[in-house]
Amino acid sequence: MRNLWIFISKYNAFFLFLIFEVSSLIIYVKYNSFQKAAFINSSNEVTGSLYARVNEFYGYLSLKEVNDSLARENTHLRNQLKSSFYVDTLNKHKVTDTVYKQQYEYVAAKVINNSVNRSNNYLTINIGANKGIAKGMGVICDKGIVGKVVYVSAHFAVVQSLLHKDSQFSAMLAKNREIGYITWGDDLDPHKGLLKDVSNNAVPKLGEPVVTSGYSLFPEGIPIGKISSLHTKSGGLLLNMEVTLAVDFSKLEYVNVVDNKFAKEQEGLEAQQKKNE
């Protein structure tokens, strides 16, 4: 306390100057309308800017919670899409009885490991068998298809990316519905795929969307990309088309695993048919 008093006594002239300066400014602003308005506007601007910075900081800290919440909400909405349901319709005596049965269910997951610059690329997600994930399930994101599950543990799963030399999924031209299959491009560009074996009856156009056909792991209509160039196999019987992929695999954060409820039934029936051939 004594040191504080000595300090104040030593610099008393400076402190008196500050007191008189602040007092004069207060009086000047308080009793002059123009200066008062200017001061209020300036202080509001400074305060607003400060609040905006504080809100940005708190918003940054809560990004993870927001992203997790949005991923769960997107998964819930995707489960309500018409394409997630199988329509069983019975027509008899001009009476139509339509029953909607859930065919596809989606499970949200976060990508915790990923690669895009290898000849065979995989990603790891943070859910596994404890959430019903099984080998062979398709994986998509909000932009389009990602790949398929190839390895599963209790709490994790490894997904074979579309950017893999062995990845191959049924696909079609969105407009004329000509069927082919999508693979990774020959030049290993992570932004390019190749739509193969499309009938030469198709008249594809540059920029035409390519989507899933519904014949493989995914429901019909999931985006794959857009045609970026056209060329034909030797002999001209089938068409191959370069596709700019819809998904930027280097920026994957959240995905949805596709659970086709009828997959085992279909696989069993088709296996029986092949056995009897």
- In the chain, domain spans: 2-61, 111-275
Q: For 212-225, what is each residue's pLDDT tens digit?
A: 988 878 888 999 99
The most confident of 12-26, 150-164, 210-224, by mean pLDDT: 150-164
Split at pLDDT 50, 70, 90, the class of 10 is confident
Instruction: Output the DSSP codes for 82-107.
Output: GGGEEEEEEEETTEEEEEEEE-EEEE
Closest C-alpha among 162, 238, 226, 240 to residue 195: 240
pLDDT of residue 172: 93
Residue 83 tokens read as 């394409």
Measured from the Cβ of residue 198, the count of other Cβ atoms closer than 10 Å reads: 23
* E strand segments, the chain: 85-92, 95-102, 104-114, 120-125, 138-140, 145-152, 157-164, 169-173, 179-184, 192-199, 209-212, 223-232, 238-245, 254-260
More confident residue, 188 or 10: 188
**Across the chain, what does the average pLDDT equal?**
77
Decide yes or no: CATH 1.10.287.1080 for domain 111-275: no
> What is the rounded distance in angstroms from the CA atom of residue 271 to the CA atom of residue 265?
10
Find all residues with CB under 8 Å of 219, minimum gap 6, and list them.
Answer: 83, 84, 103, 104, 212, 258
pLDDT of residue 202: 83
Q: For 123-155, what is each residue's pLDDT tens digit?
A: 999 999 999 999 999 999 988 999 999 999 999
Residue 192 tokens read as 């390019």
pLDDT of residue 203: 84
> What is the rounded distance in angstroms from the CA atom of residue 277 to the CA atom of residue 272?
9
Find all residues with CB under 8 Å of 269, minimum gap 6, and list them.
Answer: none
CA Rg value for the chain: 31
Split at pLDDT 50, 70, 90, the class of 28 is low
